[in-house]
Structure 1
Amino acid sequence: MRRIPVCGPEGPIRASAEPDGPRAAVRAVLFDFSGTLFQIGTYADRIRAALSRPVDETTMDRLLSGLEAGLLDPDVVAAQRARDVSSTAHRHAFTTWYASVPELAPVADALYTQLMSPEHWVPYADAESTVCQLAAEGLALGVVSDVGWDLRATFAHHGLDRFFSSWVHSYEHRTEKPDPVLFRHACRELDAEPATTLMVGDHPAKDGDAAGAGLRSYVLPAGAAPGSNRGLDAVLRLVGLNPP
């Protein structure tokens, strides 16, 4: 047994024991949805579609600036709290935000319908190749997402549903990540031990804190545009595979 220091705010407190030897191989991988495997189309394109009319660049800049400002609106901020614990709360959170821009208020419901529509979501360029290689190597795959609707139709629309055996949607469990309930439920569905399961996402607290449920975790850096490579080749290396 080797000794691993346990540190407090002022340094090591005592040592804890950890078995010698390599860690067990990863047997299952859980993925977040938005910002990890998929990204929704641009707000500009969605606004034009919802308004069903041309929108010049000056007007679009004003509308987008209005959405940015709306994130600080007290009513919008309040609506975001626990937004992913039910489909009703999720819809309310987003439609309240869209409606904070007066010109978008009449199409707030239409913008939310887009959010649930598979055709408005774009897989990252390396999403399919990554999950395909993981599945081909026998790893069990699942989705754990803070969301207000069932994601299976979106994955099916893009031909990716066949790779996944577990779907854990926050609204169905009335809780949000990083609640261990969600991660552990996915592990049970995949018949995988948490210690041999990797959670991949883009949110340091929500996805990174899967470690609190005994999983391993990997947080992707921010900034990838829809349809671009997401850097998912790192996941292949983490589980001991060579990227294509």
Structure 2
Amino acid sequence: MTISAVLFDFSGTLFRLEEDQSWFDEITGTDGKAWQVHEKVELMRRMTAPVEQVVEFDAEQRYAWENRDLDPRMHRIAMLAVLRGSGVPTTEQAEGLYGRLLDPMQWTPYPDCGAALKQLAARGIPVGVVSNIPFDIRPAFAARGWDEFVAAQVLSFEVGAIKPEPKIFRVAVDRLGADAASTLMVGDSAEADGGATALGCRFALVDPLPTGQRPTGLLDALRAAGVLAGPDHPDEAVGPAR
């Protein structure tokens, strides 16, 4: 069936939170030494792609972890526990890093994000963003003039459902006025984003690599699904993200 609508995940798919060295300038490890590169990478993974419990929680923290993407307060409790349990020495420093996570302007778009959104719009294919997240990501799109290409933003804390629950995908499909069988879900998690297949959607997996290492992942996924033409098409040049 021809794809007539596309849904995208946010974190690790359209955008990625990439650390700045200055975020760690005043943070030392539990041994008093500066954080090593691999430690920073692991901490960022735990902040942005927490798919498993990685630290010990008390009862309140465990409840918050299980409900973190449905309630901003629960998310704060859970993620501060993760940061402290991962070696960030003080609550103040954990709060500082957590604030970066909540700021949509700190997130970096993948190089072909704008091109993918524009080309889908040019073909009259409506786009929705479906994210397990506790804060509003719309400013990240609006600041780049990409909000006009996104017809629906379906965020877990606003709709009371999280991926892979069918409800969150159903809300997105309905808001686009689309049929699930002709909708493609693009995301970096087969477990969470792939849940759209239970509704009848098709699914395309992308790798949540650093943005500099995945220049055409979105366009490649859309081409492979037959949504976009090949790279020789004149309007498929990938320019720098704005």
TM-score bucket of the superposed structures, by smaller chain = 0.7 to 0.9
* Aligned mate of 1:91, from 76, 82, 99: 76
Pair 132,102 (structure 1): closer, same or farther in 2 beyond 3 Å? closer
What is aligned with 1:200? 186
Kindly state the Cα deviation for residue 234 of structure 1 after the two structures are TM-superposed. 2.3
Contact 1:98/1:104, CA 8 A, preserved across alignment? no
Q: Which residue does 1:123 correspond to in 2?
A: 109
Between 1 and 2, higher relative CO (CA 8 Å, sep ≥ 6) is seen in 2
CA distance 1:134–1:122, change in 2 (3 Å): same
Question: Does the CA contact (< 8 Å) of 1:201 and 1:208 recur in 2?
Answer: yes
* Partner Cα separation in structure 2 for residue 194 and residue 139 of structure 1: 14
CA distance in structure 2 between the partners assigned to 1:38 and 1:137 by the alignment: 22
Match of 1:19 in 2: none
Q: Which residue of 1 aligns with 2:56?
A: 74
Question: For residues 198 and 41 of structure 2, what CA distance do their matches in structure 1 show?
Answer: 37
Map of 1:225 onto structure 2: 210
Which stretches of structure 1, 4 residues or more, deviate above 3 A after TM superposition? 62-72
CA positional deviation for 1:150? 1.1
Report percent identity of matched pairs.
Answer: 34
TM-score between both structures, scaled by the size of structure 1 = 0.78
Q: Give 1:124 shift.
A: 0.5
Work out whether residues 126 and 230 of structure 1, in 8 Å CA contact, stay in contact via their aligned partners in 2.
Answer: yes
SS where residue 168 of structure 1 aligns? strand
8 A contact 1:178–1:206 mirrored in 2:
yes
1:168 and 2:154 are equivalent in the alignment:
yes
8 Å CA contact retained: 1:178, 1:210: yes
Query: Tell me, which stretches of 5 or more residues in structure 1 are unaligned?
Result: 1-22
Alignment partner of 1:46 is 2:23: yes
Give per-residue Cα distances to partners, 1:133-181, cap 9 Å, x unaligned. 1111110001000000111012112332121010100011222101111
State the aligned residue count.
215
Q: Is the 8 A contact 2:27 2:35 kept in 1?
A: no
Where in structure 2 are there 5+ consecutive unaligned residues?
A: 48-52, 237-242
**1:214 Cα deviation (Å)?**
1.4
Asked whether the equivalents of residues 118 and 157 of structure 1 are also in contact (C-alpha less than 8 Å), the reply is no
Q: What's the offset of the Cα at 1:131? A: 1.2
Amino acid at match of 1:74: E
TM-score normalized by the length of structure 2: 0.79
Match of 1:29 in 2: 6
Is the 1:123–1:227 Cα contact (8 Å) retained in structure 2? no
RMSD over equivalenced CA pairs, Å: 2.8
| Structure 1 residues 2-26: Cα deviation after superposition (integer angstroms, max 9, x where no partner) | xxxxxxxxxxxxxxxxxxxxx2x11
